[in-house]
Chain A
Amino acid sequence: MLQADIQVNRGEFELAIDLDVPPGGVLAVLGPNGSGKSSLLDCLSGLLAARGTISIAGRAVHALPPHQRGVGLLRQTPLLFPHMNVLQNVAFGPASQGQSKERAREIASGWLADVGVAELAERKPAQLSGGQAQRVALARALATRPRLLLLDEPLAALDVHAAPAMRALLGRVLRQGDERLAGVLVTHDPLDAIALADQVVVLANGRVVERGPTREVLAAPRTQFTARIADLNLVAGHAVADGLRTADGSLLQGILAPDAVRGEAAVAVFAPSVIAVYPVGAGHGSPRNTAVATLASVESHGPVTRLRTGTPGAGWAAGIAADLTPAAVAELGLEPGSEIEVSVKATAVEVHPATPVIARGAQATRSDRP
């Protein structure tokens, strides 16, 4: 679907990357600021010249100007044309592609309904909230029926209320929309990658330092660099009403993301810093997510000490990381091989639908299930 092998030189900065995203696939590009993520998207959309080759749906596009590439672009800010209303914004693409005025408006109305903002059609962009505007921007990008959707930190500018809903919408569009649509998502937030992408590449200083299936890369970072970016505990299982049940039957209570479907494959996400660690049998009481595990390693991790649990037989607590202060580690007398009790508050755990690599046709019916 998307095959790219490109190089860019801009003064000191160099970007060299090769990508291969299959139809229906979503690739997340992770990396810190200045790693070349946005330059990559600009190259793919044609806004930045690059050496090398880019082909989209079998068509070589690297010599084509942006308007002939058939690429949709959604940036951090919606960039809705301020002089047009919402409907005109969305109809702009189809009209530019040669559709009649009426037809362009029909298409636009359809997409506005699809992203759930049909009632805002007559508003001006200045009258929208950030979340609404970003939905309209998505509808506008999709209205041209692109084969490749480029997402440049699409959630970064949204507040904590609007971001989850927008993430869910993006997930639905990418997984259940046009099955030929491929996506490239640039983000610095591993959560976005987990929620939306099936493959991930990690960029540093313009080079790919790691690549592979999202959960594998993030759950077991092979480089320090990726580990620093990821820095999350991922627990696989399937979604249930009040959280996630692992393959061995343990329950991890948490908050379901809006697009998580009960009974479907899911992944629970929580940070190492939210885990509490106690000696076994300390009888501390309240948090319901409590499990016993064997301590596998203790190592210094910047200002904190990172504990890692062993893999076998600990339910959700197998192979997770927890951060404690060095003082607490000393007080508890922890060393590799110790038995510990770990607990995490249910409100600190998010449950997201997993992004399995399966045919879309099979997934399209998922939302009908209870």
Chain B
Amino acid sequence: MRPVWCALVMALAVAGCAPGSADETLTVYAAASLTESFTTLADQFEADHPGVDVQVNFGGSSRLAQQIAEGAPADVFASADEAAMDVVARAGRLAGKPATFATNRLTIAVEPGNPMRVNGIADLARDALTVVMCAEQVPCGRAARHLIRDAGITVRPASEEPDVKSVLGKVRAGEADAGLVYVTDVLAENGTVDAVKVPEAAAVANRYPIATIADAVEPSLARDFEKFVLGDRGLRVFKAAGFGSEAGAGS
């Protein structure tokens, strides 16, 4: 019996030290719409800092914010809007002031070739069109409602999805004719959906803030990563992904 226990304990011990055999691990919580760009940035950061492992947890900004507010062990938080960042700030879990590193705009994702001939925001009011968007509790949903209100139209969505990737999924699967998503999402799709330009969306652009979390496990590394995202390398990655920049905003 005893050897079995010993083996078990040792296995657990080894498993505990296993991940990446890195000396330091940085935990980043980032909005779902940052999936592609932050994956690239994390790789670059790891290349610059040997022995550092960056773990990125992507999800709906509001949910991530709730988790951090409840004590989730994040070092850095990158949100898709300021409302979600405010939740973390109100919980007293920010180490410094958040800084805006990118902006994003909504667009209308449609099936390739735009078979339903959606030409602008006003077309979303058409009854025959199956429209999906984000629920109002998440940043993309807040922006979508803002946009619709400003356009003075009434849209009856078929579904209000919990995050932007779900909206995109419904359009990609052909279940929805049109979905309100971020321009960066359509760009990342590489042609499985088309985007319809929405000039009005500029007025309701999301601002993406980043901040270091109080009592981070790796505070100096967290600050380094924040600087890295806000720096030139970050700017290039975001620009390539279709994000906008708003020099000086929020910082």
Touching in the complex, A and B, CB below 8 A?
Answer: no
Where the two chains meet, the residues of B that have a C-beta atom closer than 8 Å to any C-beta of A are: none
Interface residues of A (CB under 8 A from B): none
